[in-house]
Amino acid sequence: MIIAVDGPTASGKGTIAKALGRHFRLPHLDTGLLYRAVGYQLQLDGGDPDSEADALAACNFPDELLGHPGLRSEATGGLASRVSAHTAVRQALFERQRTFATQQGGAVLDGRDIGTVIAPDADVKLFVTASVEARAQRRWQEMNDRGEEHSLEEIEQDLRRRDERDRSRAAAPLVAADDAVTLDTSEMDKDEAISKAIEIVNTLTGQLPCP
Ligand code: DC
């Protein structure tokens, strides 16, 4: 079974995808991490995120980089959003994601274009969304917990910028697949969102809930 989980930054898609992986015993890939690694490597190389050639060169990042804590920062997220707009970068990362999606036994992948480009044949497609205010509040809380100080306004503005870039780019823009089920988590806490996602997968696949 392939489960595609797409949605904007801080919608809860990563948490939901991870939980679905655990519940249905499927391996999970956070594809945003690949774009973050490209952004981080590009910075190490001193490249220009708006140059397709520089961004493509950064796709040769070493696998060990995927575990680097610097990948989680807001700055790297912004760079990831910029390098991900290049078609050559998306093509360079395609095979790795497709191979993961089509592995024996199935997989869960989360990102922006899983249901539309990487696994249009997915058995379940979830489009996880939430209001920009709810997402900014969550991101603020996460950062606060990590001891990073940013104002709520600053975070909200950054999310709006990132949404706009991810939605308006020509290459694989952030958009719900026609056959995706939309899950709005604005009014849900983490556990509610996870339960709802499991329920959707069970309903769509006709499986009985796991004990
Ligand atoms: O999910 P995230 O915030 O870690 O993703 C960082 C950036 O990577 C995001 O702004 C857009 C890009 N991305 C993408 O274009 N396609 C994906 N499948 C995953 C992420």
CA gap 121, 98 in Å, rounded: 11
- Domain membership flag for residue 113: yes
Domain region containing 116: 2-202
Here the CATH number for the domain that contains residue 177 is: 3.40.50.300
* pTM score: 0.93
Q: What is the mean pLDDT of residues 93-115?
A: 97
- Domain membership flag for residue 19: yes
- Domain membership flag for residue 207: no
Beta carbon of 11 within 6 Å of any ligand 1 atom: no
pLDDT band at 209 (very low <50, low <70, confident <90, very high): low
The best mutation among 28, 31, 38 to test binding of ligand 1, ranked by most ligand atoms within 8 Å of the C-beta, falls on 31
- Provide the domain count of the chain: 1
Beta carbon of 6 within 6 Å of any ligand 1 atom: no
Atom of ligand 1 nearest to the CA of 35: 8
Question: For helices 74-83 and 152-168, what crossing angle results, to 10°?
Answer: 20
State in Å: Cα 33 to ligand 1 middle.
7
- Domain membership flag for residue 208: no
- Domain membership flag for residue 209: no
- Domain membership flag for residue 211: no
- Domain membership flag for residue 155: yes
CA gap 72, 76 in Å, rounded: 7
State in Å: Cα 20 to ligand 1 middle.
19
Q: Give per-residue pLDDT as tens, 54-96.
A: 999 999 999 999 999 999 888 899 899 999 999 999 999 999 9
